[in-house]
Amino acid sequence: MVRAPCCEKMGLKKGPWTPEEDQILISYIEKYGHGNWRALPKQAGLLRCGKSCRLRWINYLRPDIKRGNFTKEEEEAIINLHEMLGNRWSAIAARLPGRTDNEIKNVWHTHLKKRLTKNSHGSSESKAPFSAISKLISQKSLSEPESMSSSSQQEPSSSEFSSVTDTNSVTTTMETTIEDKAIMNNIMIKNETMEFSEDFPEIDESFWSEALSDGNSGNPFEFSDGLQHQSSFSSSESVELNRGFIIPNVDDSMEFWYDLFISAGGAPELPEF
């Protein structure tokens, strides 16, 4: 399908946003939400294309954006997640609350890639847990070709959970050993003891219904104010680990790990071993 770029329309402004434009966009979205990005600039009185507005909002103006330098913990998380997910910045961003895909992408290209290249001659020790988990994921998906592979075709949106909700198949196909879980713990938590139950906890049905009922929009994180709240886990209590990584509480952690596995398992760029 061939379509003209949305900003090709005459008279639409490009380039850096002014504080005035920002204010117009913010107050419009606070008032009416952003149901239709294409129509938004016209309705708000902005000489911008919808895409530009969306980008500005997502990457800069949202109230839940965390500004400022990335912490060491966040950088490590990015490196680790990148190893598992590849250049899927939105998937990585979904696991770093308050950070945007654009920001993460920039940090990767300007800081982390160089740092990794520098360190590539050093020890491969830091990579070990990820090679291990990649192998684990591969083995699991081999043993469960149909349901896993079909669901892995679709990457869940960064702002909502995967539609794959067959928790029974998850618990059977993602059966893990203590050793597996030790590996997983190593990925996320180097210095902290974290207890996992013997098996992945099953997701309480009420989790889904509660999430879906909020805002009545089908998006668990679209609130009644009409705004999208970025953090995938913002609707429930989270646990902040000493690496600055936010993971959901135990009820949500099932989804977290499952989502991570699906993402990694479905990633075509999953490193070979």
Partner DNA sequence: AACGGGGGCAACCGCCGCTTG
Partner DNA sequence: CCAAGCGGCGGTTGCCCCCGT
Summarize as ranges the residues that interact with DNA (CB under 7 A): 1, 3, 5, 7, 13-17, 35-39, 48, 50-52, 54-56, 59-60, 69, 87-91, 101-103, 105-107, 109-111, 154, 157-159
Residue 88 or 229 having the CB closest to DNA: 88
First to last CA, the chain: 38
Q: Are 174 and 261 a contacting pair, CB within 8 Å?
A: yes
Residue 176 or 231 having the CB closest to DNA: 231
Residue 85 C-beta: closest distance to DNA, Å: 8
CA angle 234, 219, 24 (to 5 degrees): 80
Q: Are 262 and 156 a contacting pair, CB within 8 Å?
A: yes
Residue 54 or 190 having the CB closest to DNA: 54
List phi, psi (to 5°) of 176: -125, 150
Residue 271 C-beta: closest distance to DNA, Å: 15
Which position has the token pair 């966009």?
Answer: 25
Greatest distance between any 2 Cα atoms in the chain: 61
Residue 94 C-beta: closest distance to DNA, Å: 7
Radius of gyration in angstroms for the set of CA atoms belonging to the chain, rounded to a whole number: 20
Residue 208 C-beta: closest distance to DNA, Å: 17
Distance, CA of 103 to CA of 159 (rounded, Å): 16
Residue 110 or 224 having the CB closest to DNA: 110
Q: Are 53 and 41 a contacting pair, CB within 8 Å?
A: yes
Residue 58 or 187 having the CB closest to DNA: 58
Residue 74 C-beta: closest distance to DNA, Å: 13
